[in-house]
Chain A
């Protein structure tokens, strides 16, 4: 009797996550996959085949954009890690109590406004008539206005800025759990700051680094707003291309194929990253 009620409780608690998985993840993907393998041969006439995938590989613009998106995202992830690690280390190891909370909160504050407003903030700073351009002219460092928007560097700045919190949070958590006496023991045994960082701190923080990187990479790869706004028309971000297929060209079949390719790409890169860092997904997600 009791086992029946507890089983009922188990299924009731399981229901939301199952519903979420099936309705929001599995069903749309199955639908998308079916659409992606339908070839349009005439008005309202379809045939099953991989022509949409073939179109991707035959058109250099598509796969080059695809590769560019992947490389830029990896670069953005690496930059976020390089910038986020010292911040996280400072918050977790070098501050205490109130200062720690304040700093942590300061990392969060930008996320209280919407991504759109944040990105416009960067536009105000970087555009031709923007703050930085004017400041440079005022200081006499440049003669005319400088356009800093609409290039890859601007996209990179935007991507790093939008995702740094998702790197800092898991890193602070894992670094917090590193016992200070381990660092002291490292010094006591003759270690230098570099060797202690390399042999003690980074191995300990590895689960945090990996989970932060996974999240940041996926956020960058799937980002749509930042590349479009800061990169302009030539941003050539793969999500932009998917948007064009769905909305502008109304070619849902090719758009779906693109969507699946993006999914495959992110899975592949995450898998490769886990293999390279010798971490397992379950361990990483469990600890961070």
Chain B
């Protein structure tokens, strides 16, 4: 990614990204909540910041919204620095975690709040509120009270309240967290389609990887105040650049192992329990004798009857976890390592029972391998 300042310096006609952060840092006393974070979000894209709770993503979002000021670094929206600009003067709007709709106003007044602050004429407020409510699929609700609509509708009202102001960037702070599973699945799709309909830049923070994977154009995975990786959902899932990303995004078997041989990109590792594995991992920087962590996705492991080949081992089904299309089994291999294996969606192996003996096989290219952290 090209640093922002060079862009500005060499070519003024270049359109600025909607949001650009460079070396943004926030310290709370001795604790560094956000640590030199840099990223750019191009116009009209859906950008997610994914991380566990306490990773600093909320602090980052609040700095973008203007509720907290960064200790150092710069934050630009459409090329203008936002340092020292109060939240009510920034061209960003935020959808709060619990939506923060004003319970003392009806829906029309809620959506019209921002326009009233700007001194827009009453009749124009009315038409613009009606128009935006129609765009989110809620015509004729403006007279209703907040407690008279459902959770999903509140969600859309909260988005309408921001979108009516036509912000450059819309920030969303885990707004789906309070919804039940069915509605959450539905809202994911809806949010994405709203985003493309409005063609506004969305910055979405979440700890739910499936929300991030489904909706985003780009995902930043955040841990302990830093961005571990920025990439497309596909990259983040299939080519995680750090052990944290590999473990946090998606399901993975984590095997602690020691490198026993290096042959170009092909590594041979021995797990702590004694199973031998071959992994095709170019540019891994590992050397013989080093401890490593191997990440293997449950769906990358194949169940079968083949008895020989690379990474084939015989095991015994230790437990069956039935979960409809996401069913899986844990297989204990001969040295005692447990592997979680996804059952094929075709229905084969559906009759597998605890204690059955199976062969597992996986492609050396499918596993990821990182130097073990700490030890």
- Chain A: residues with CB nearer than 8 A to chain B? 179, 181-182, 184-192, 195, 199-200, 203-204, 206
In the assembled complex, the CB of B166 is this many whole angstroms from the nearest CB of chain A, namely 12
CA distance A181 to B173 in the complex (A): 12
Contacts of B117 in A (CB 8 A): 189-192, 195
Chosen A-B contacts, 20 in total, with CB atoms closer than 8 Å, are: A179-B98, A181-B100, A186-B102, A186-B113, A187-B66, A188-B66, A188-B88, A189-B114, A189-B165, A190-B89, A190-B114, A190-B118, A191-B88, A191-B114, A192-B117, A195-B117, A199-B102, A203-B104, A204-B104, A206-B104
Contact call A188/B113, Cβ cutoff below 8 A: no
Within 8 Å of chain A (Cβ to Cβ): is B361? no
Within 8 Å of chain A (Cβ to Cβ): is B161? yes
Contact call B113/A189, Cβ cutoff below 8 A: yes
Q: Determine the residue in chain A with the shortest Cβ distance to B89.
A: A190
Within 8 Å of chain A (Cβ to Cβ): is B87? yes
The 6 closest A-B CB pairs, nearest first, are: A189-B114, A203-B104, A185-B100, A190-B117, A181-B100, A187-B87
Interface residues on B, range: 20 to 34
Within 8 A of A (CB), among B122-164: 161-162
Contacts of A191 in B (CB 8 A): 88, 113-114, 117
Within 8 Å of chain A (Cβ to Cβ): is B94? yes
Contacts of A200 in B (CB 8 A): 102, 104
Contacts of A187 in B (CB 8 A): 66-67, 86-88
CA distance A188 to B105 in the complex (A): 17
Within 8 Å of chain A (Cβ to Cβ): is B97? yes
In the assembled complex, the CB of B178 is this many whole angstroms from the nearest CB of chain A, namely 13
Contacts of B103 in A (CB 8 A): 204
CA distance A179 to B86 in the complex (A): 20
CA distance A195 to B118 in the complex (A): 11
Contacts of B165 in A (CB 8 A): 189-190
Contact call A188/B104, Cβ cutoff below 8 A: no
CA distance A200 to B98 in the complex (A): 16
Q: Which of A182, A190, A203 is B100 in contact with, Cβ under 8 Å?
A: A182
In the assembled complex, the CB of B66 is this many whole angstroms from the nearest CB of chain A, namely 8
Contact call A199/B100, Cβ cutoff below 8 A: no
CA distance A192 to B118 in the complex (A): 10
Q: Give per-residue flags for B67-104: 1 if the beta carbon is below 8 A from chain A beta carbons, else 0.
A: 10000000000000000001111001110111010111
Contact call B118/A181, Cβ cutoff below 8 A: no
List 7 additional A-B contacts (Cβ < 8 Å) besides A189-B162, A200-B104.
Answer: A184-B67, A184-B94, A185-B96, A185-B100, A190-B88, A190-B165, A199-B116
Within 8 Å of chain A (Cβ to Cβ): is B65? yes
Contact call B88/A185, Cβ cutoff below 8 A: no
In the assembled complex, the CB of B169 is this many whole angstroms from the nearest CB of chain A, namely 12
In the assembled complex, the CB of A185 is this many whole angstroms from the nearest CB of chain B, namely 4
CA distance A189 to B102 in the complex (A): 12
Contact call B87/A182, Cβ cutoff below 8 A: no
Interface centre among B67, B98, B104, B105 (most CB of A within 10 A): B104
Contact call A181/B98, Cβ cutoff below 8 A: yes
Q: Which of B93, B102, B118 is A188 in contact with, Cβ under 8 Å?
A: B93
Interface centre among B67, B92, B100 (most CB of A within 10 A): B100
Q: Which of B92, B94, B116, B118 is A185 in contact with, Cβ under 8 Å?
A: B94
Contact call B96/A181, Cβ cutoff below 8 A: yes
In the assembled complex, the CB of B84 is this many whole angstroms from the nearest CB of chain A, namely 15
CA distance A283 to B102 in the complex (A): 19
Contacts of A186 in B (CB 8 A): 102, 113
Contacts of B98 in A (CB 8 A): 179, 181
Interface centre among A179, A184, A204, A206 (most CB of B within 10 A): A184
Contact call B113/A192, Cβ cutoff below 8 A: no
With known contacts A182-B102, A195-B117, A200-B102, A188–B87 Cβ distance under 8 A: yes
In the assembled complex, the CB of B93 is this many whole angstroms from the nearest CB of chain A, namely 6
Contact call B87/A184, Cβ cutoff below 8 A: yes
Q: Determine the residue in chain B with the shortest Cβ distance to A204.
A: B104
Contact call A189/B93, Cβ cutoff below 8 A: yes
CA distance A206 to B100 in the complex (A): 19
Q: Determine the residue in chain B with the shortest Cβ distance to A185.
A: B100
